[in-house]
Each structure stands twice: as C-alpha cells, then as structure tokens.
Amino acid sequence: MIDYEQDTLNAYRTPERAANYKRFHTADWTWGRFVTCLEQRAIARELARYNWSPSDQLLDIPCGTGVLGKLLHQFPFRIVASDISAEMMAIARTEYPVSKLVSCIQADVTNTPFLRRSFECVITIGFLHRVPWEIKRNTLREIAELSNRVAIISCSVDTPLQRLKQAFLSRVKRNHLAAPCPVPIRDIIVECETNGFRVIRAFMVLPFFSAHAVLVLEK
C-alpha cells in the first residue's frame, strides 16, 4: 500500500529527487520515458483540436519538473505552473516558453489558491496514478472548480488484462513496479461527470502494454 505523504506529497522535496525524476522521464532510456513521450504526443494532438487565443490561461498542475513545458511552446497560452515541490518547480521554470510563463506557484493540487474558473485549460498528468481514491476525488473536484472550458488528465486504469500483465511481469521481472493506484476507468469517468465535466475522449496511451490513460474533459 502506497503512503501518499511519504511517496508522493513529500517525496520530491530535495534537488536530488527532483533531478532523478526528470532524468527518468526525459533522459534515461526507460519505459517511463517512452510512455511519457507517447503521452505528450497525445496531449499535443488533443490541444490542437481547439482554437486557443493568447489571452487564454493554462494551468499545469502538478507541473513536476516541467515535462509538459516543451510541447507548450507551440501553443499561445499564458502559462501558470504549480507544484507542491519548490525543488521540482526550480527545474520546471526552464522548460516553459519564457514569454508565456506567467508564474510558478507552490500549491497542493487538492487545495489551490487560484481563482475559481480562471483557466481555459487545466492539465494534470503524472499524478493520479500515484494517489489513493480520496486524493483522486479531491483533485478532480479542484480541477473542475479551476477550469472554465477544458481539462486533460492522465491516470492508470485497472482491468483484468492489466492485472494479468502485472502478474506475469512480477514473475519474470522481480524489480518491476506497477502503477500503485490504478482504478477502473469507468470510476474516473463517473467522478469527472459528477464534478460537471463531459468526457469528450478517453483512450489508452499504449493499449495493453501500458495502463496509462488520457481523458479529455469539457465544461
């Protein structure tokens, strides 16, 4: 069982941990980097479906080390980046387009200081798969209150096929680490709808091979 405070909330509050996180997702030849690359391509494709203006604000939360930053160079958003870890944000600052980055604000994704409905787009990736259901619900509620148009989230889904895959991998690869908190995608969809979103698209980033899913939500 994952310890939310130890393994997520307070896990990346040193420069070393923040640097290791970025290296795993953007530099090392890891499965995590491969899936992150596919996820970013999917998010860029989804963002390109909309007509955005230079006055539109996008919130990247939790922004981590700014993994999303480079793909945002191609869009006109005014960007706000936010994370609970100041050490992660220190790295993230260099990833966003300087002319479009409004601010980096330290905040808990479940309880932010931002004005309600002040963002045309909210993106939350690399987080929901790590946290228990109560934190998922609180996060989705906060996202719904902050977004006035679109939200894009990622999570890990629990299916019989994924459980079979994890059972196999745990036997052949002893150090294999699965996503700690997957849930049935239907549960996530229902929770999004409960918070006033319409689920426009929900799809797997790499069917069968990864439990990673992306959901596109609209108000």
Q: What are the φ/ψ torsions at residue 106 (nearest 5 degrees)?
A: -75, 125
Taking residues 61-67, what's their average pLDDT? Answer: 95
Per-residue pLDDT, 165? 67
pLDDT at 11 over 70: no
Per-residue pLDDT, 178? 62
Q: What is the mean pLDDT of the chain?
A: 89
**What are the DSSP E strand ranges found in the chain?**
57-60, 78-83, 101-106, 119-124, 147-156, 198-204, 212-218
pLDDT at 7 over 60: no
* Surface-to-core class of residue 50, CB atoms within 10 Å of its CB (0-12 exposed, 13-18 middle, 19+ buried): middle
Domain 4-218 belongs to what architecture? 3-Layer(aba) Sandwich (3.40)
Could you tell me the residue ranges of all domains in the chain? 4-218
Per-residue pLDDT tens digits for 155-178: 999 877 767 767 666 777 666 566
pLDDT at 47 over 90: yes
Per-residue pLDDT, 10? 63
pTM beyond 0.75: the answer is yes
Per-residue pLDDT tens digits for 195-209: 999 999 999 999 888
Q: Report which of residues 9 and 70 the model is more confident about.
A: 70
What count of other Cβ atoms lies within 10 Å of the Cβ of residue 29?
6
